[in-house]
Structure 1
Amino acid sequence: MLTPTAEIVAAARAAGGGVGAFNVITVEHAEAIVTGAEEAGLPVILQISENAVRFHQGRLAPIAAAARAVADSSRAAVALHLDHVESDELFDQAAAHGFGSVMYDASASSYADNVAATAAAVRRGRRRGLWVESELGAIGGKDGAHAPGARTDPGEAAAYVAATGVDALAVAVGSSHAMRTRTARLDHELIGRLRAAVPVPLVLHGSSGVPDDELVAAVRHGMVKINIGTALNSAFTGAVRASLDGDAALVDPRRYLAPARAAMAGTVAAALRLLAGTTTPAHR
């Protein structure tokens, strides 16, 4: 059932656990994520990024409607989150399409400009009942706060949260977007200091490249919302490739999308259990 992001994140934080937020590109992604959540018996967050909206020819409504319908029909608690939004026009569409939250991304701007733009977005979001996440990033660099080597300063983070009024903060602690190998090592001492300095939930972006034991430690030290995208795409594409390689005459997309969707669902279920602390990490 469709559930506010704020409610899911608050419950995970109160329990000392983490919650997975998974990127949706196609309707199969949404179906797989929700199937994985039902299999694990845990809440989940469906994320649609501005990049994904661009892939859908700039139209938010169709993919949002599909994700919302999947959420509404689920036995699991499912939130809708609009991710890495730089466009004010897109931000202002979120609530009307069922999103409970938005990640407003001004991280490529200077600190002052980031604060001003994010504070304005938070004010607009409040009027629409939105929970707003943002990130405090390095100036320039397409990865923002998650450029290689970037780290978030706890004092600056605390000042930023106070100045903007955001409900959650994505921080740079050693992860990076779009990693296809699980080799990232996180600064857990910094995560602890950020948790102590910042009154809102912490968010880890780029979690696909983080090994299981590192994710467990990150949650233990204070991370709450854990964003995962590339790992789903790797599972999806691997299954599609195996199906097509195994049958050169295969043309019906259902024949290769079904195993791809199942592979993604398994990835989601395993990640949710790990973050909730119901399974032990694999050291890899």
Structure 2
Amino acid sequence: MLADLGTVLAKAQRGRYAVGSFNTANLELTQAILAAAEAARAPVIVSTTEKAIAYGDIEVLAAMIRILGARAKVPVVLNLDHGHHLATVRAAIRAGYTGVMYDASTRPYRANARQTKTVVRLCHRARISVEGELGSVGGRADLGANARYTDPHEAAAFVRDTGVDALAVMIGNAHGGQFPEERLRFDLLTAIRRVVRVPLVLHGASETPAAHFRQAIRLGITKVNIDTTLRKTFTTVLRRTLDAHATVYDPRAVLGASRAAVQRVVKRHLALFGSAGKV
């Protein structure tokens, strides 16, 4: 069943668990994510980035996810992940998305707040919840001395100024996997949670240690985004399958193993996030 992002996150926040947001760009990844969620009896967020949209077309991806999501027996959010352009947000609204993550985090505070507020007004008119981002979650190059952490006082002001329904925070996390210099600042997360009441979101969470997930969720993370892990799993298994069956040319015969592997990874994460069995 299709569900609104804000409704799903509000329930998770009350239940003190996190909802997994898993990125897709094709049929097999989408099937794997939804099959895992149904097997785990967990709500799930299926997300598409602007790059995925450029690859697969927003109307095509949305139609696929909406059809499969409507058939599912668990709540399914169709979510725009890291939308950077107002045109993409408008297209997502037209395509039937039920959640929007708008990312202007690389801009100065005032520009970020102003642009995010515009998106919130636009989406709320369509009854779609919005996640914003403060502090910039980048890649490995954005860690260490280059890190732009979320400031707790700015976070409280940002939520008040924009009206966002959820807030993505930078507490030492980075996109692209787990890096040696990546350290989650649980002290910072605690400080943010004290002054921000909307659900908090952890991006760049692929390959984060299980103990760190549990601690982050205990301290207030309500949505966790996973992308890189799924890509690595899918392509690693696909290479092995092709190597083992060099003469097979039917895509259906070689993609199934990758789909099954991703399903196992998603199901494992849903259990780790505490959302398994919540439906």
| TM-score range normalised by the length of the shorter chain | over 0.9
Separation (CA, whole Å) in 2 of partners of 1:9 and 1:278: 14
Separation (CA, whole Å) in 1 of partners of 2:182 and 2:218: 17
- 1:186 is aligned, of 170, 180, 184, to 184
Separation (CA, whole Å) in 2 of partners of 1:263 and 1:183: 29
Paired AA for residue 135 in structure 2: G
Deviation, structure 1 residue 93: 2.1
TM-aligned CA distance change 1:183 to 1:265, over 3 Å: farther
Matches within 5 A, 1:160-179: 160-179=158-177
Matched with 2:74 is: 76
TM-score by length of 1: 0.91
**SS of the residue aligned with 1:93?**
helix
**SS of the residue aligned with 1:62?**
helix
List runs of 5+ in structure 2 lacking aligned partners.
none
**SS of the residue aligned with 1:42?**
coil
Matches within 5 A, 1:124-273: 124-138=122-136, 143=138, 147-148=142-143, 149-179=147-177, 184-273=182-271
Separation (CA, whole Å) in 1 of partners of 2:142 and 2:154: 17
Deviation, structure 1 residue 187: 1.1
Check whether the contact 1:47–1:83 (CA below 8 A) recurs between aligned residues. yes
Check whether the contact 1:18–1:275 (CA below 8 A) recurs between aligned residues. yes
**SS of the residue aligned with 2:149?**
coil
List runs of 5+ in structure 1 lacking aligned partners.
280-284
Question: For 1:165-224, what per-residue CA distance to the aligned partner results, in whole angstroms no more than 9, with x for missing partners?
Answer: 111110001110011669843111211111111121100000103111101110001100
Separation (CA, whole Å) in 1 of partners of 2:230 and 2:172: 20
Check whether the contact 1:180–1:230 (CA below 8 A) recurs between aligned residues. no
Structure 1 residues 196-205 or 185-194, which shifts more?
185-194
Separation (CA, whole Å) in 1 of partners of 2:20 and 2:179: 19
Check whether the contact 1:185–1:214 (CA below 8 A) recurs between aligned residues. no
Identity among equivalent pairs (%):
38
Give me the CA root mean square deviation: 1.9
Check whether the contact 2:20–2:270 (CA below 8 A) recurs between aligned residues. yes
TM-score by length of 2: 0.93
Deviation, structure 1 residue 54: 1.5
Point out which structure has higher relative CO (alpha carbons under 8 A, 6+ apart).
2
Q: In the alignment, is residue 94 of structure 1 matched against residue 92 of structure 2?
A: yes
**SS of the residue aligned with 2:22?**
strand
Separation (CA, whole Å) in 2 of partners of 1:4 and 1:235: 28
Separation (CA, whole Å) in 2 of partners of 1:83 and 1:20: 13
Separation (CA, whole Å) in 1 of partners of 2:142 and 2:159: 21
Paired AA for residue 63 in structure 2: A
Deviation, structure 1 residue 278: 6.2
**SS of the residue aligned with 1:83?**
strand
